[in-house]
Amino acid sequence: MYDVEKVRADFPILSRTVNGKPLVYLDNGASAQKPRAVIDAVTRAYAEEYANVHRGLHFLSNLATEKYEAVRPKLQAFLGAAHEDEIIFTTGSTQGLNLVSYGWAAPRMQAGDEIVLSVMEHHANIVPWHFLRERQGVVLKWVDIDADGGLDPQAVIDAIGPKTKLIALTHMSNVLGSVVDIKTVAAAARARGVAIAVDGSQAAVHMPVDVADLDVDFYAITGHKLYGPSASGALYVRRERYPEIRPFIGGGDMIRQVRKDGIDWNDPPHKFEAGTPGIVQMIGLGAALDYMTGLGMQNIAAHEADLRDYAMARFQGLNWLNLQGTRPDKGAIFSFTIEGAGHAHDISTVVDQRGIAVRAGQHCAEPLMEHLGVHATCRASFGLYNTRAEVDALVDALELCHELFS
Amino acid sequence: MPERSAMTASFDEIADNFAFLDEWEDRYRYVIELGKEMPPLDETQKVPATKVEGCASQVWLVPRVDGDGQGARISFDGDSDALIVRGLIAILRALYNGRTAAEIAGIDAHARLGELGLQQHLSAQRSNGLRAMIGRVEAIAAQVREAA
């Protein structure tokens, strides 16, 4: 039995007030709050277990290295990777996808080669590919979404041509909540010798992920959305791809030997982890993964599915609310505008007065905003600690917005 | 004639009205009303030169100068795609319009807006950029003073 009140008690910030009202935090899509277990792990790492990793032979360096490297098998299990060395530590999905772009795609793509991506990608899964377009003439092939916010896997597969080298897709839209059928696309990509990189920033937070079952080449996640510290994260890389990747950040820790006339690389994954990493951030992420798996990803997904269904039912009663993304199997992420309200910022400002945190703007997804024909939306994104009562609080505040602005 | 009353409301009248409004919802309702009653800019006036950067929603301010020298009086029209921001522009117009550059330089806009309980719109990070709008007005006033 999922006891959401017990879960809430694990998050110190949820007991604070904002503008005199209990905090209703519905901006989890941007960043999630941290449980006590993560805060304690970070504090302990600095207070008792801190030194640089992979370097000294002294006690604390060994201890810190042990704690830090213990996060790798946790990430392996969390993502369902076949091998521990398929996990590269990163500062988040942005760094992970840039590694795919600079390290794997840039050396092997010629002018005219194509990358297939959807219009609902986050900028983190767009801009690294634009770099390749600018610098070496790579062509971006955009696949549209359906009216309900879904992405037809066959439309992606149909976009694959003889020049296509990579498919870059989100697993769950950060704006619409739509879940993409990665497994079907990945199978078709493999049959055609095309690689697939997946932005799992949102999906890994809200549902169990198994990269071996999905059969993808690259899968990027970001720790701060996973109830862990900011600037933590990971990139899954299928082992067979490692020989094809050129490291793109050079420095300490990634090398076995450096001479005046050459270098020998360290083995993956360390080959791709140059410089002193986010030691404590990664240790904190390990605690966050323990916390989530302790609750159970299936249980978290079931709780959020209940919130989604309840919110959808409540929103249906608001005939002036324009909801973007209406698939019944989506994640609990809702983007909307209100008829008559001048701007998403107006809505955000008013609901903030009621202690409700939502995001207003373009959500780092400008091509999607253009596709939807809206300048900006408000987004309420739910997490494992949100409640039906918070859905009610949001609906009440939206009704006030409608009354104020119309 | 709500439009006329809003256009002619002085800042002191607005401040008096605010003093009667205890609930934040009512204060917002009033700000939104002021915004709705403010005449919109012509689309041709919404150009890069009149756009105020630093606002998450779009804001334009169009200055007008009547008269010459030290006695020149400054006014501006404005617009935004956000209703609350339109209301804030209307309040700024009440605060500044028809004043000389020297008078504008003497106005502590942050303190005056603080009297209305709108302090939270004045923080540096606040996305509506009220701070940026005040900066634009003060820059225009400084230009007029230098020219005089």
Is the same domain home to A239 and A115? yes
Q: What is the mean pLDDT of residues B2-28?
A: 77
Q: What pLDDT is recorded for position A67?
A: 97
Let me know if A256 is exposed, middle or buried by CB neighbors in 10 A (0-12, 13-18, 19+).
exposed
Answer whether A349 sits within 8 Å of B81, measured CB to CB. no
Which of these three, A230, A259, A293, is where a domain ends? A293
Share of chain B above pLDDT 90, in %: 48
Q: Which of A364, A374, A395, A400 is catalytic?
A: A364
Which of these three, A259, A293, A327, is where a domain ends? A293
A364 among known catalytic residues: yes
Asked if the model's pLDDT at residue A74 lies above 50, the reply is yes
| CA-derived radius of gyration, chain B | 15
Nearest alpha carbon to residue A271 among A291, A297, A244, A298:
A244
Answer whether A404 sits within 8 Å of B80, measured CB to CB. no
For CA atoms A275, A280, A281, A282, give the dihedral sign: positive
Cβ–Cβ < 8 Å for A293, A227: no
Please count the CA atoms within 13 angstroms of the CA of A297 that sit on its side-chain side.
Answer: 17
Q: What pLDDT is recorded for position A406?
A: 81
Q: How many CB pairs under 8 A join A and B?
A: 47
Q: What is the mean pLDDT of residues A184-192?
A: 98
- A353 neighbourhood in chain B, CB within 8 Å: 24-25, 28
Asked if the model's pLDDT at residue A403 lies above 70, the reply is yes
Q: How far is CA B26 from CA A353, A403, B88, in A?
A: 12, 12, 15
B102-140 burial code (b ≥16 CB/10 A, e <16):
eebeebebeebbeebebeebeeeebbbbbbebbebbbeb
Q: What pLDDT is recorded for position A79?
A: 98
Answer whether B84 sits within 8 Å of A346, measured CB to CB. yes
Nearest alpha carbon to residue A324 among A142, A120, A121, A122:
A120
Residue type present at position B9:
A
* Cis bond before residue A269 (omega within 30° of 0): yes
Residue type present at position A25:
Y
Is the same domain home to A256 and A379? no
> Chain centroid to CA B79: how far?
10
Q: What pLDDT is recorded for position A361?
A: 86
Residue type present at position B1:
M
Binning pLDDT at 50, 70 and 90, where does residue B9 land? confident
B53 vs A253 pLDDT, higher one: A253
Is the same domain home to A67 and A157? yes
Q: What pLDDT is recorded for position B3?
A: 40
Is the same domain home to A151 and A227? yes
Asked if the model's pLDDT at residue B21 lies above 50, the reply is yes
Answer whether A342 sits within 8 Å of B86, measured CB to CB. yes
3-state secondary structure of A343: coil
- Whichever domain contains A318, its CATH number is 3.90.1150.10
Q: How far is CA B28 from CA A279, A334, B134, in A?
A: 46, 25, 20
Is the same domain home to A163 and A182? yes
Cβ–Cβ < 8 Å for A93, A199: yes
- Whichever domain contains A50, its CATH number is 3.40.640.10
Is the same domain home to A47 and A106? yes
**Cβ-based interface (< 8 Å): residues of A facing B:** 19, 341-343, 345-346, 349-350, 353, 360-361, 375, 400, 404-405
Residue type present at position A161:
G
Of B24, B28, B56, the CB nearest to A345: B56
Is the same domain home to A121 and A150? yes
Q: What is the mean pLDDT of residues A34-55?
A: 96
Is the same domain home to A240 and A311? no
Is the same domain home to A60 and A153? yes
pLDDT in tens, A98-148: 999 999 999 999 999 999 999 999 999 999 999 999 999 999 999 999 999
Asked if the model's pLDDT at residue A72 lies above 60, the reply is yes
| CA-derived radius of gyration, chain A | 22
Is the same domain home to A21 and A62? no
Number of domains in chain A: 2
- The residue of chain A nearest to residue B126, with distances taken between CA atoms, is A349
Q: Tokens representing A8?
A: 């809430």
Answer whether B57 sits within 8 Å of A405, measured CB to CB. no
Which of these three, A238, A273, A293, is where a domain ends? A293
Residue type present at position A348:
S
Asked if the model's pLDDT at residue A165 lies above 80, the reply is yes
For CA atoms A117, A123, A124, A128, give the dihedral sign: positive
Q: Helices A297-316 and A279-295 meet at what angle, rounded to 10?
A: 80
- A360 neighbourhood in chain B, CB within 8 Å: 56, 127
Q: What does pLDDT average to over chain A?
A: 96
Q: Name the phi and psi angles at A150, rounded to 5.
A: -85, 160
Q: How far is CA B22 from CA A43, A315, A357, A358, B12, in A?
A: 43, 30, 23, 25, 17
Task: Please give the Cα distance from A285 to B29 (Å, whole number).
Answer: 44
| Positions of B marked catalytic | 55
Nearest alpha carbon to residue A96 among A240, A253, A218:
A218
Is the same domain home to A21 and A75? no
Q: What pLDDT is recorded for position A279?
A: 98
Asked if the model's pLDDT at residue B62 lies above 70, the reply is yes
3-state secondary structure A18-69: ECCEECEECECCCCCCCCHHHHHHHHHHHHHCCCCCCCCCCHHHHHHHHHHH
Q: What pLDDT is recorded for position B123?
A: 53
Q: Tokens representing A177?
A: 């909540």
Q: Whole domain around residue A44: which residue ranges?
A: 39-293
Q: Which residue has the tokens 């309200």?
A: A341
Q: Which residue has the tokens 């006033």?
A: B141
Q: What pLDDT is recorded for position A335?
A: 97
Binning pLDDT at 50, 70 and 90, where does residue B69 land? confident
Is the same domain home to A233 and A244? yes
Of A342, A360, A400, the CB nearest to B81: A342
Q: What pLDDT is recorded for position A220?
A: 98
Asked if the model's pLDDT at residue B6 lies above 50, the reply is no
